[in-house]
A and B are shown apart, each in its own frame.
Chain A
Amino acid sequence: MVFKHRSILPGFGLALGYTVFYLCLIVLIPLAAMFLKASALTWHQFWHVVASPRAVASYRLSFGASLIAALINLVFGVLVAWVLVRYDFPGKRLFDSVVDLPFALPTAVAGIALTTIYAPNGLLGGPLLSIGIRAAYTPLGVTIALTFIGLPFVVRTVQPVLEDLDKEFEEAAASLGAGRWRTFTRVLLPTILPAAITGFAMAFGRAVGEYGSVIFIAGNMPMKTEITPLLIITKLQEYDYTGATAIAVAMLVASFVFLLVINLLQVWSGSRRSAGSVKDFGPLNADLRPAWEKGGSE
């Protein structure tokens, strides 16, 4: 985008200068330091650490449990968003605000609370154990913690799309003889899918790097219930800086790939949304009053 006419607003140089300076100081230089440190390793050394059986077992747990947790959140996130947008029930506002709890609650607090609940003598861990399911200190426990951590993402990406959705599409589908289920799968689902997948990717990305809420409930047995971030900490405590750096670099590259995928998904989801929205054709849709006035008897 080429700049056509210069803005008369002041402070561009100062604000940009400070932004870039602070960004370099806090984020870019420290990150670069890690890559510099990693570049001192030979490829063989790097591979030896990154592909060691213990590391591979930790990736399998971290990525596997994150994937399952994100899938759970995908299904229930769409359900929760749907229920919060479309239906009225007592306490709806309360439930809506509490969805953000996993963002605001410190991970260590979530970690000890979930462990207490799912421990063999816990509120839910007891009943689960009586039907033969061990939750805490197993991969299932890790999945539960990661589900908690990723819960808001899908809800919060799908909710605005559902709110913006024009009812005309559903009415059209209904008048053409589609049942509700058919309308949902053919009309609604394609519209909310990009947002839902964006939320899914965010939940997955967050879960892979999560530490605080997991370590209490995981049991942390090498090869069995040791997540990748914990392996980095273990290596650090053994003063194995090389090993910690190698695994951290591998994780960081994975998260950069995710960031890229999420950004691409958002571009895709943005284009899908505007393509599907009648509003963008402007005057054709005469009623441009804001949504709350249309329904309004305030």
Chain B
Amino acid sequence: MAGSAVSSIRIAPSAGYVATKATTEPALVRWLLIAAALLFLGIFLFVPLGVVFVTALEKGVAFYFQTFRDPDTLAAIRLTLLAAGIAVPLNMVFGVAAAWVIGKFEFRGKGILITLIDLPFSVSPVVSGLIYVLLFGLQGLLGPWLIAHGIRIIFAVPGIVLATIFVTFPFVARELLPMIQAQGNEEEEAALTLGASGWQTFLRVTLPNVKWALLYGVILCNARAMGEFGAVSVVSGHIRGLTDTMPLHIEILYNDYQFVSAFAVASLLALLALMTLVVKSVVEWKSGQQLKQQILADGEEKP
């Protein structure tokens, strides 16, 4: 359950807590608590976010866009898109399969399977990269064999893709699982009884029910895939224009004292993060609506 309780979408339609005098605090205490909480969030979240955009535009809009004409920057953006483009669909297919088998069936070892799927959440990104170096690197277990066959994985694109897959491994499964479990098996059983095939049932019954959770899982997985730094840094080898992803390119620019360019590239990733948060809000709202309708419909069936 490690990282999940937190990243998961929450569908608790807020009723608005109706406070009475006995169960709330004096106005002064209330405002002090609100001020303290907002000050904390302001300093730790809004200030860093603001700094990214302000610094990126420090030398004007023209300079901002000039950063994206640099061939190394463009190569980094392309590699990031490629790595996410491979990692996200693979993890999506895995996530759907895992959520299906865990959510719809009872079997021995289910708890262990869930824990193992969560494992990449609790492994340091640096260790995530290291395990692939130890497997595929020059000194690694498969290293000599790979060299003999002229296959490069570490310090090359395949290593970056593998590390990206590893760190974003649990996201889709983790978002889908609670939704698939909450839906129960009745609708699928009804579809099968009425003669639908397994795939038809899955595509027409299960998928529409969990589409919002799936969408959020994919978006979150994508944001993490594009933003991964530690694991990718270990396997990349930092070859400019070849094995640099956007986060690694940010590091290079920053260490070269090209702060404004570093923040310009960072602003793209920050926009991606903001977009992810917006999608999350929309998905929470949508699945709240869906749940509400379902409960209303259930209520009409059994008066």
Contacts and interface: CB of A to CB of B under 8 A. Distances in A.
Nearest to B55: A116
A229 B124 contact: yes
Contacts of A223: none
Interface stretch (A49-57, A159-167, A271-279): A159-167
A120 to B, nearest CB: 15
Contacts of B20: 171
B288 to A, nearest CB: 8
Interface string A1-43: 1010001111110111011101100111111011011000000
B135 interface: yes
Nearest to A102: B45
Interface residues of A, number: 114
Contacts of B15: 291-292, 294-296
A160 B10 contact: yes
A189 interface: no
B37 interface: yes
Given A34-B134, A259-B2, A180 B25 contact: yes
A33 B30 contact: no
Given A209-B124, A229-B230, A259-B2, A98 B23 contact: no
Interface string A96-107: 011111111111
Interface in B228-265: 228-230, 233-234, 246-248, 250-251, 254, 259, 262-263
Interface residues of B, number: 117
B40 A79 contact: yes
Contact of B1 (A97, A256, A263): A263
Contacts of B224: 103-104
Given A8-B192, A236-B130, A174 B22 contact: yes
A82 B29 CA distance: 13
Given A18-B94, A79-B33, A153-B6, A23 B116 contact: yes
B100 A107 contact: no
A251 B51 contact: no
B124 A251 contact: yes
B254 A256 contact: no
B97 A7 contact: no
Interface of B: 1-3, 5-7, 10, 12-20, 22-25, 29-30, 33-34, 36-38, 40-41, 43-49, 51-52, 55, 90, 93-94, 97-98, 100-101, 104-108, 113, 115-120, 122-127, 130-135, 137, 139-141, 162, 165-166, 169, 185, 188-189, 192, 198, 201-202, 220, 223-224, 226-230, 233-234, 246-248, 250-251, 254, 259, 262-263, 266, 269-270, 272-274, 276-278, 280-281, 292, 295
Given A116-B55, A156-B7, 6 more contacts: A33-B140, A87-B34, A157-B5, A248-B124, A259-B122, A292-B292
Closest 4 A/B residue pairs (Cβ) = A106-B227, A209-B124, A10-B198, A212-B229
